[in-house]
């Protein structure tokens, strides 16, 4: 049994630290926009599309451009604090990545609700499959599509 204890504030701080380290190490600059976007991203719902993020951000910070949000999210992904995901609806979404943790998704095809889950046994089996094919796994993606409990009624 795995016990995870996440204090929101601490996790957020750790990610900010991780990103600023990344920025420094790459010789990039810390800017007002990046701070705003990072703060907003870390405080937002998971799995927002770039579009959604931009619009919500824009409501509070009118001066920010789409390209900046776009490039900044790419940076987040590159730095390892975020990940791009595609649910096949033609929109790239972003989710936060927590150190050493990986989760997969249940996507409701009716209401769009997204639940996250983790299953170590499945991960192990994936490794076995990969080994059988001589593959070296870097990442994986597992998504279950269907009706959520609410929409089944």
Partner DNA sequence: GTTTATGCAAAATATTTGCACCAGA
Partner DNA sequence: TCTGGTGCAAATATTTTGCATAAAC
Residue 3 sits in the site that holds its own copies (CB under 8 A): no
> Is 104 annotated in some ligand binding site?
yes
Options 30, 31, 46, 109; binder of its own copies; rule CB under 8 A: 109
Options 108, 111, 112, 114; binder of its own copies; rule CB under 8 A: 108
Note whether 64 and 36 are within 8 A (CB): yes
Note whether 82 and 97 are within 8 A (CB): yes
Judged by beta carbon, residue 54 or residue 105, the one nearer DNA is: 54
Options 21, 39, 51, 99; binder of DNA; rule CB under 7 A: 51
Closest approach, Cβ 121 to its own copies, in A, equals 6
Q: Which of 123, 122, 49 is closest to 87 using CA atoms?
A: 49
**85: exposed, middle or buried (Cβ count in 10 Å: 0-12, 13-18, 19+):** middle
Residue 21 sits in the site that holds DNA (CB under 7 A): no
Strand 104-108 to 114-117 pairing: antiparallel
List residues near DNA by CB under 7 A: 27-34, 49-51, 63-68, 70-72, 74, 90-92
């Amino acid at each position: 049994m795995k016990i995870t204890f996440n204090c929101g504030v601490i996790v957020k701080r750790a990610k900010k630290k991780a990103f600023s380290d990344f920025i420094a190490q790459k010789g990039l600059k810390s800017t007002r926009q990046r701070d705003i976007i990072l703060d907003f991203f870390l405080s937002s719902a998971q799995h927002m599309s770039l579009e959604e993020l931009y619009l919500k951000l824009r409501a509070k910070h009118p001066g920010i451009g789409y390209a900046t949000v776009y490039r900044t999210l790419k940076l987040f992904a590159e730095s390892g604090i975020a990940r791009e995901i595609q649910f096949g609806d033609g929109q790239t979404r972003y989710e936060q990545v927590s150190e050493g943790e990986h989760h997969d998704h249940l996507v409701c095809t009716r209401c769009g609700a997204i639940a996250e889950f983790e299953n170590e046994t499945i991960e192990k089996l994936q490794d076995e499959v990969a080994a059988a094919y001589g593959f070296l796994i870097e990442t994986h993606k597992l998504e279950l599509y269907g009706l959520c409990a609410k929409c089944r009624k």
